[in-house]
A and B are shown apart, each in its own frame.
Chain A
């Protein structure tokens, strides 16, 4: 079956630091890959996505590249802000279903 494994948190950073959250997946076929962000008390917002190998998704300074050879979709941001504090979920879509990682809590300190 399909599964997603992402880096355990929590992650605490200072403002302007570099952020990486690792995500690897197991899937049959060719899934689409996503990063969602959840702010406290809110639903999930789509942050970025990639639909095929070597695609790079990007949004709000965040980037992730679909690496088929390493089955990975790591999230990166070069300079985080306090407003980036949230829970980040890696997910894959295949066979009409969305599979999620457990989420990584990121806290950015001023």
Chain B
């Protein structure tokens, strides 16, 4: 079955620690995205990548970093600079930007919940 997997389901971060969230897709999608969801709120875009070896900052990129070395994978690192990291993190993917005129449908993974110890 094609889809998006995220791991781990729960992640605990200690003070001053960097942690990495995994996102893998086998949908053969070119574009991948990371969102943050806080309780009672909509989703906010952290980073996105339209093609391998390229990525752009979203609306709330400070304290986060990403890489896109493979088409299938888009890991997110939450650095110690992110002072309020507790949230639900969602990864998404879509077909190549432009194939639907910039209005591509995004498909989401099951999410990772990050908690601070």
Residues of B within 8 A of A101 (CB): 42
Report whether A46 and B105 are in contact in the complex, using a CB–CB cutoff of 8 Å.
yes
Residues of B within 8 A of A98 (CB): 33, 43, 45, 92, 106
Residues of A within 8 A of B92 (CB): 44, 98
Cβ-based interface call for A61 (8 A): no
Mark out the residues of chain B between 30 and 86 whose CB falls within 8 Å of any chain A CB in the assembled complex.
33, 40-43, 45, 50
Residues of B within 8 A of A49 (CB): 105
Total A residues in contact with B, Cβ cutoff 8 Å? 25
**Cα A33 to Cα B45 with chains together (Å):** 18
Report whether B108 and A43 are in contact in the complex, using a CB–CB cutoff of 8 Å.
yes
Query: What is the minimal beta-carbon distance from A101 to any residue of chain B, in angstroms?
Result: 6
Residues of B within 8 A of A62 (CB): none
With A43-B110, A96-B50, A96-B97 in contact, do A34 and B42 touch (Cβ < 8 Å)? Answer: no
Report whether B41 and A102 are in contact in the complex, using a CB–CB cutoff of 8 Å.
yes
Residues of B within 8 A of A46 (CB): 105, 107-108
- The listed residue (A36, A42, A96) touching B111 by CB distance below 8 A is A42
- The listed residue (A45, A97, A102, A103) touching B108 by CB distance below 8 A is A45
Cβ-based interface call for A69 (8 A): no
Which B positions have Cβ atoms within 8 angstroms of A?
4, 6, 33, 40-43, 45, 50, 90, 92, 97, 100, 102-111
A to B CB contacts below 8 Å, 8 in the list: A30-B103, A42-B110, A46-B108, A93-B106, A96-B97, A100-B42, A102-B42, A103-B40
